[in-house]
């Protein structure tokens, strides 16, 4: 895992390589804020999950953090030795409340274009009258 910040509700993959193939490892997620409820952490349905390293010596698990805050994610082996740890900050999604303003007001441009068309039409009428007389 390489990210230090994620969005609340986004899934991230925790992985560790160079392990003994077939060995069982645990992935534990802990909030650094004691007020964060356990329900805000989902590690494939749990707060701690066991994963067996594949033939390639790698283990991976999906973590979803559903509350903003800072979390510590730790991978341990069967003897509870810490192999890897990452601190991740989950930030709330920002929902725009209104459209952004570009700073362009189209009314003066439209009025200017209409005025130029009126002047052009008037000039055309005057030229045609003079040619016919």
- Return the structure tokens found at 1: 């895992």
Residue 100 has pLDDT above 70, yes or no: no
Length of the chain counted residue by residue = 133
**Model pLDDT for residues 7-60, shown as the tens digit of each residue:** 888 888 888 888 888 888 888 888 877 777 777 776 654 567 778 888 898 888
DSSP 46: B
The architecture CATH gives domain 5-91: Sandwich (2.60)
Measured CA to CA, the distance from residue 5 to residue 7 in angstroms comes to 7
pLDDT band at 106 (very low <50, low <70, confident <90, very high): confident
Residue 1 has pLDDT above 80, yes or no: no
| Per-residue pLDDT, 37 | 73
| Per-residue pLDDT, 117 | 92
Measured CA to CA, the distance from residue 32 to residue 72 in angstroms comes to 7
Percent of the chain's residues with pLDDT above 90: 3
């Amino acid at each position: 895992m390489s990210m230090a910040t994620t969005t609340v509700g986004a899934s991230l993959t925790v992985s560790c390589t160079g392990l003994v193939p077939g060995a069982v490892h645990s992935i534990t997620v802990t909030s650094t804020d004691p007020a964060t409820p356990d329900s805000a952490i989902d590690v494939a349905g749990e707060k701690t999950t066991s994963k067996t390293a594949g033939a390639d010596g790698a283990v991976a698990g999906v973590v979803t953090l559903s509350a903003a805050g800072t979390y510590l994610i730790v991978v341990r082996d069967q003897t509870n030795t810490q192999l890897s740890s990452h601190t991740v900050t989950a930030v709330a999604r920002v929902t725009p409340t209104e459209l952004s303003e570009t700073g362009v007001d189209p009314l003066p441009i439209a009025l200017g274009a209409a005025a130029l068309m009126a002047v052009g039409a008037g000039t055309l009428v005057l030229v045609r009258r003079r040619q016919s007389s």
